[in-house]
Amino acid sequence: MPQPRRLVEGNEAVAEGAIAAGARFFAGYPITPSTEIAEVLSRRLPQVGGHFIQMEDEIASIGAVIGASLAGAKALTATSGPGFSLMQESIGYASMAQVPCVIVDVMRGGPSTGLPTDPSQGDVMQARWGTHGEHSIIALVPSTVAECFDLTVEAFNLAESYRTPVILLSDATVGHMREAVALPTADEIRVAARGEPAVPPEDYDEVVSTVDNIMPRPALGSRYSVHVTGLVYDRSRGGVPATGAPSVAEGLGRYLREKIYHHRDAICRVEELEMEDAEVAIFAYGSVARSAKAAMKWARRQGAKVGLVRPITLWPFPTEAVEHMAEQVRTIIVPEMNLKQMSWEVQAAVAGRAKVVDHGRIDGKLIRPEEIQELIRTEFYYHRFKETS
C-alpha cells in the first residue's frame, strides 16, 4: 500500500531514505542545520533494530561509521560545514580503504562557524578535494524533499556497488524545507545488498577486484580474515602494506580512481528541461535549481528559448552532459551560492565553445528566480543588440 502524502522536511526524508536503504547505523554530532537527521534516526533506528550513537565529535562520528560499515552494517553520518571539515581525514581513509558509507553534508554559510542557519553551496569543491591526496569521490545534490529520500537510497547503493564513501550535498534550504510527498514504500525502491565475496575464505587474499568486478569486503567477524589499512596496500596479497613498491602505489591509486570514473555513465545523473531547442541554458544544482527552474519557465513564457541542465550527480562531474550543452547553446548561466566553484568546472568542460555567465551569492540568502531572470534578460538583450548592430 502506498504511503499517504504528508508534509515532510528534507532532513527527515534523508533519515527515512537511509532506513529504507537498509542503513542500520548512524553516528553523529549535533550541528545546525543537519541535526534533525540525527534526531529522527535516534528514534527510528532502534525501532528497526539498528543503532544510533551520538559521538564526542565529528572525527569520532565518521570513525564509528567506518567501524560499523566494516562490521557489516550500512552506516551514515550527517553534518554541516565545520563538521564536514573535521571528517575529511577519515573520508580519505574510507576512500583509500574502500569502506562503503554515506556522509550527509547539509551545507551552511562558511568558512568557519559562518552562517549556521543559512544555506550555502560553499562545500562543493571540499566534497571533491577536501581530503588530502589523489582520490575519487561520488557526491549527489538533492533539490527537493522527495529527492532527499531518493538520493539517500541512491547514495547507499552507489557506496555498496563501488565500495566508496558517497557524499550527499544537501543545504539549509533543502534540509529545512517541507513539501507534501508520499515517501516510497519498500517495494518501490531498489536496494543494493552488501553480499559476500564469491570465493571461500582460504582463497580470499588471492582474488583481486577489477573495475568491472568490484568484490564486496567480508565483514569483520565473518569467516574471512581481513586486513584494512590506510597505508598503500597490495591488492593481490590480502591488502598488506606495500609502501616500498612504487608500482603497487601507482596501481592502487589508479584503480581507486578508475573504479569510479570507468562507471561514470552509470553514476552520473543529469536532469535536462526544455533543452530540445534551447539557445541559453541554466546550469544549476541543489536548492538554486528550484529558482533556476522558475526563471526558465518565466523565460519560456516570454518566448525566450531557455533550458535547464541540473546535475543530480555533482561528482564525478557530468562532463559529457556539459560538453553536449556547450555544442548546442550560445550561453550557459551558472548561478550558485558560492563564488564560481562549479562555474570553473563548467568552463573547463565548455572549453570556449559557449559563453559562461556566472552568478554567485555568499550572503546566506537563496538565489531568487528574479536574479536569474535578470541575467536571462541581459543575455537576450545583448544578443539582439549584437545581431542588429
Partner 1 sequence: MALVDEELLERAPDDRRLPRVTPHRTGEIVRHLRSPKTLWCPGCSNGIVTRALVDAVLALELDPDRTCVVAGIGCAGRITAYLNWSTVHTAHGRALAVATGAKAADPGLHVIVIMGDGDCVAIGGNHLIHAARRNIDVTALVFNNSIYGMTGGQMSPTTFEGDRSTTTVYGNVEQAFDICELARAAGATYVARGTPYSYNRLAQLIAGGINHKGFSFVEAMVSCPTYYGRQNGIPKASDMMKRQHERSVPVEKFDLQGPRLHDRYPVGVLHHAEREEYTTAYAGVVARAQERSGG
Minimum Å distance from CB 240 to partner 1?
A: 6
Give the residue with the Cβ less far from partner 1, 197 or 238.
238
Q: Is 213 helix (H, G, I), strand (E, B) or coil?
A: strand
- Of 34, 79, 90, 291, the residue at the interface with partner 1 (CB under 8 A) is 90
Which span sits near partner 1 by CB under 8 A: 67-75, 133-141, 160-168, 260-268?
Answer: 67-75
Contacts of 389 (CB under 8 A, 6+ apart): none
Query: How far does Cα 117 stand from its chain's mean position?
Result: 21
Contacts of 312 (CB under 8 A, 6+ apart): 140, 141, 142, 147, 151, 269, 270, 271, 285
By the rule CB under 8 A, 69 interacts with partner 1 = yes
State the DSSP H helix or E strand holding residue 102, giving kind and residue range, or none if neither: strand 101-109
Give the residue with the Cβ less far from partner 1, 51 or 262.
51
Give the residue with the Cβ less far from partner 1, 125 or 228.
228
Give the residue with the Cβ less far from partner 1, 224 or 317.
224
How many whole angstroms separate alpha carbon 320 and alpha carbon 322? 5
How many whole angstroms separate alpha carbon 278 and alpha carbon 275? 5
Which span sits near partner 1 by CB under 8 A: 43-51, 111-119, 175-183, 317-325?
Answer: 43-51
Minimum Å distance from CB 290 to partner 1?
A: 34
Cell of 266: 552509470
- Of 5, 6, 30, 71, the residue at the interface with partner 1 (CB under 8 A) is 71
Cβ-contact 367, 286 below 8 angstroms: no
Q: Which of residues 179-238 bind partner 1 (CB under 8 A)?
A: 219-231, 238
- Of 4, 49, 200, 352, the residue at the interface with partner 1 (CB under 8 A) is 49
Which span sits near partner 1 by CB under 8 A: 87-95, 138-146, 292-300, 361-369?
Answer: 87-95
By the rule CB under 8 A, 63 interacts with partner 1 = yes
Q: Is 358 helix (H, G, I), strand (E, B) or coil?
A: strand
Cis peptide, bond prior to residue 4, ω within 30 of zero: no
By the rule CB under 8 A, 55 interacts with partner 1 = yes
By the rule CB under 8 A, 59 interacts with partner 1 = yes
Which span sits near partner 1 by CB under 8 A: 44-52, 192-200, 291-299, 377-385?
Answer: 44-52
How many whole angstroms separate alpha carbon 329 and alpha carbon 354? 7
How many whole angstroms separate alpha carbon 376 and alpha carbon 50? 49
Per-residue DSSP letter, 312: S
Binding site for partner 1 (CB under 8 A): 24-25, 27, 43, 46-47, 49, 51, 53, 55-57, 59-61, 63-73, 75, 89-90, 93, 219-231, 238, 240-241
